[in-house]
């Protein structure tokens, strides 16, 4: 099963993903995409690390996400990826070239083939004003397109607002 959990900054999306992973009767592999490029980000990473179960395997991979998903894939596992928008930022910060499209395509082709359950966490960036800079507009566009594609692949999509999960797929009242 693939689940996509979306929400704004500090919406509670990572906490929800961690709760769902902890409730699953599976071995959890937490795949972190963040890079501590400044002291504030290092502090955010420490905050997230402090919440994780000591029983979980944590791996850090800022770029080659599909590759690490394939390496960690196994029946009876749950792979929790936090977060896709940081992964996109990492890709967009690389030297210009085909790597962005290759990594994105690799992820989208890998996900449906995995035996493990997957929870993907990402920031919903399309609810605000249109950014004025070219790079930030591309980031918003790329994350929106990625979320749409992932939502079509996922069996469950949840939007978190103010710590409250809202089921988008399957829709409320439908059979999961």
Could you report the per-residue pLDDT of 66-125, keeping only the tens digit for each?
999 999 999 999 999 999 999 999 999 887 788 999 999 999 999 999 999 999 999 998
**Which domains, ranges and CATH numbers included, belong to the chain?**
2-169 (3.40.50.300)
Residue 65 and residue 91 in contact, taking contact as beta carbons nearer than 8 Å = no
Rounded mean pLDDT of 22-40?
88
Alpha carbon distance 5, 17 (integer Å): 7
Q: What is the enclosing helix (H) or strand (E) of 30?
A: strand 27-32
The residues assigned a catalytic role are 48
27 or 173: which leads in pLDDT: 27
Global model pTM greater than 0.85: yes
pLDDT in tens, 7-27: 998 899 999 999 999 999 999
Distance, CA of 90 to CA of 34 (rounded, Å): 8
């Amino acid at each position: 099963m693939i689940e996509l959990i979306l929400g704004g900054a500090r919406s509670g999306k990572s906490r929800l993903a961690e709760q769902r992973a902890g409730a699953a009767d599976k071995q959890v592999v937490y795949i972190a995409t963040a890079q501590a490029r400044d002291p504030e980000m290092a502090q955010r990473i420490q905050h997230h690390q402090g919440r994780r179960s000591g029983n979980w395997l944590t791996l850090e991979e800022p770029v080659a996400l599909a590759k690490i998903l394939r390496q960690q894939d196994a029946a009876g596992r749950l792979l929790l990826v936090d977060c896709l928008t940081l992964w996109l930022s990492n890709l967009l910060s690389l030297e210009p070239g085909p790597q962005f499209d290759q990594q994105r395509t690799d992820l989208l082709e890998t996900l449906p083939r995995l035996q493990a359950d997957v929870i993907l966490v990402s920031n919903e960036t399309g609810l605000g004003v249109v950014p004025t800079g070219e790079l930030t507009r591309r980031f918003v566009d790329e994350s929106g397109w990625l979320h749409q594609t992932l939502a079509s692949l996922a069996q469950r999509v949840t939007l978190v607002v103010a710590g409250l999960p809202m089921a988008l797929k399957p829709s409320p009242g439908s059979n999961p």
